[in-house]
C-alpha cells in the first residue's frame, strides 16, 4: 500500500459531520426523473444524461437556475422523504455521523407546496436515518436572499408551528447584490424565537459580507467564507473567536470561485488556526459528496492525516449538538485516529 493510498483510506474512514448541505442540492438526475414520472411532470430535458450534461456552470447564478428547475419535481411529503433518505444513505457510506441540512421552503411554498409537507417529509427521513443508519441530523431553514425580507418574515411565520424540528435559520441563493444587512430584522426575530443563525457570506461576495453576517445577523457559523482571506483583520477575528467556516471545495471549483482545487485557500486557513470544515454543498450538481470533497482536497493541497483529523474535529466543534453528543463524537474520532496511529 502506498502512502497516498493509506492516507486516502484513513480520510475515507474518518467519522465526520456535514454542516453545509442543501438537501435540494442532493437531488440526483435519476431521482429527478423518477419523481417527475411519479408526479406527472414533464421535464425540459429528454434524459438523465441530457440533464447531467447541463451541469456546466459558469457562476453561482447559472447553477441556481437549474437548481430551482430540479426542485420543481418535489410535490409530496414522500418526495421530500425520498430525497433526504437518498442523501442520508450516501452520507452514512462516507462515515458522516451527523448532518445539519439546509432546506429552502420558499422554493416550494411559491409553487403552492405547504411548508408542513416539506418539513414533515424531512423529519420522517431524519428519524429513519437515525434508526437505520445511525446518522443524527438537524434542520436549518434558509431564506432565499434574492427575495425580500418581508417574504422571509412570512416564511418564518409559516414555520413557527414546526420550530421544534428546526435548529436554526440560514441565508442562501444569489449572494452578490444581496448583503446580509437586508435580513437584519428577520434574523433578530429568529434568534428571539430561540433559533441558531448561520449565513452564506464570502463565497462570491466580498469580506464586507462576512463582517455583516457576524455583526448584523450575529451568526454562529459562516457558510463558505473563503473571501475572508482578503481581509487580515477579519482573518484575525475568525481565528481569535474560532468562528467556523463551512467550506465547500468542489463546489468552489465547479462555480469558478477557484480555477483549480490546488488554488484553494482552505489549507492556508487551516494552518493559521481558522475553524474550517469540509462539506459538499450541492453534491448532485457539483460532482462529489463528503468523501470525494475530503479526499480530493487533502490530495490537492498536500494535507496530512493530522490535518484531516483536525478538519473532522472542527466539524464536530462547529455543529449544533449538545455537549454530551459533541463529546461522544470527539471520542469516536479519537478512537479511530488512535487505531490508525494519527
DSSP state, 205?
S
Where helices occur in the chain by DSSP H, the ranges are 3-13, 29-38, 48-53, 60-71, 77-93, 105-109, 115-133, 149-159, 184-192, 207-215, 232-241, 249-254, 266-271, 283-286, 290-300, 305-317, 323-339
Q: What is the dihedral of CA 277, 64, 208, 20, to 10 degrees?
A: -20
Q: Are 207 and 234 in contact (CB under 8 A)?
A: yes
Q: Which three cell numbers stand for residue 100?
A: 445539519
pLDDT tens by residue, 103-145: 999 999 999 999 999 999 999 999 999 999 999 999 999 999 9
pLDDT at 38: 97
CATH number at residue 217: 3.20.20.140
Mean pLDDT confidence for 151-179: 96
Lowest mean pLDDT among 16-30, 52-66, 87-101: 52-66
User: Binding site membership for Zn(2+): which residues?
Assistant: 20, 22, 200, 281
Residue 1, pLDDT > 90, answer no
> Distance between CA atoms of 33 and 1, rounded to whole angstroms?
41
> Distance between CA atoms of 39 and 41, rounded to whole angstroms?
6
Overall domain count for the chain: 1
The confidence band for 102, taking pLDDT boundaries of 50, 70 and 90, is: very high
pLDDT tens by residue, 195-252: 999 999 999 999 999 999 999 999 999 999 999 999 999 999 999 999 999 999 999 9
User: Binding site membership: which residues?
Assistant: 20, 22, 200, 281-282
Is 160 part of the annotated catalytic residue set?
no
User: Binding site membership for substrate: which residues?
Assistant: 282
Place of cell 433578530: 188
| Residue in 203, 204, 296, 317 annotated catalytic | 203
> What is the extent of the structural domain holding 109?
3-339
Residue 2, pLDDT > 80, answer no
Amino acid at each position: 500500500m502506498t502512502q497516498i493510498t493509506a492516507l486516502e483510506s484513513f480520510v475515507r474512514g474518518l467519522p465526520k459531520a456535514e454542516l453545509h448541505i442543501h438537501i435540494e442540492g442532493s437531488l440526483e438526475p435519476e431521482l429527478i426523473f423518477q419523481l417527475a414520472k411519479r408526479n406527472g411532470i414533464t421535464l425540459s430535458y429528454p434524459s438523465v444524461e441530457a440533464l447531467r450534461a447541463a451541469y456546466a456552470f459558469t457562476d453561482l447564478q447559472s447553477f441556481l437556475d437549474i437548481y430551482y428547475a430540479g426542485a420543481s419535481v418535489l410535490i409530496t411529503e414522500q418526495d421530500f422523504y425520498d430525497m433526504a433518505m437518498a442523501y442520508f444513505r450516501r452520507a452514512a457510506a462516507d462515515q458522516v455521523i451527523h448532518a445539519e441540512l439546509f432546506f429552502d421552503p420558499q422554493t416550494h411554498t411559491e409553487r403552492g407546496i405547504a411548508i408542513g409537507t416539506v418539513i414533515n417529509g424531512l423529519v420522517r427521513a431524519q428519524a429513519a436515518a437515525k434508526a437505520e443508519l445511525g446518522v443524527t441530523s438537524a434542520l436549518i431553514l434558509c431564506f432565499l436572499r434574492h427575495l425580500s425580507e418581508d417574504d422571509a418574515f412570512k416564511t418564518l411565520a409559516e414555520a413557527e408551528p414546526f420550530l421544534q424540528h428546526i435548529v436554526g435559520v440560514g441565508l442562501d441563493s444569489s449572494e452578490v447584490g444581496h448583503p446580509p444587512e437586508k435580513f437584519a430584522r428577520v434574523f433578530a426575530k429568529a434568534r428571539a424565537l430561540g433559533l441558531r443563525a448561520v449565513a452564506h457570506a464570502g463565497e462570491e461576495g466580498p469580506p464586507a459580507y462576512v463582517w455583516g453576517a457576524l455583526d448584523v445577523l450575529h451568526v454562529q457559523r459562516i457558510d463558505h467564507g473563503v473571501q475572508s482571506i482578503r481581509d487580515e483583520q477579519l482573518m484575525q477575528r475568525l481565528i481569535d473567536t474560532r468562528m467556523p467556516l463551512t467550506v465547500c471545495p468542489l463546489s468552489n471549483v465547479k462555480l469558478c470561485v477557484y480555477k483549480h482545487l490546488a488554488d484553494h485557500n482552505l489549507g492556508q486557513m487551516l494552518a493559521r488556526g481558522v475553524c474550517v470544515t469540509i462539506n459538499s454543498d450541492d453534491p448532485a450538481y457539483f460532482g462529489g459528496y463528503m468523501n470525494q470533497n475530503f479526499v480530493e482536497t487533502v490530495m490537492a493541497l498536500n494535507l496530512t492525516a493530522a490535518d484531516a483529523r483536525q478538519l473532522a474535529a472542527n466539524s464536530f466543534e462547529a455543529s449544533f449538538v449538545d455537549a454530551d453528543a459533541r463529546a461522544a463524537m470527539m471520542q469516536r474520532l479519537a478512537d479511530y485516529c488512535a487505531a490508525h496511529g494519527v
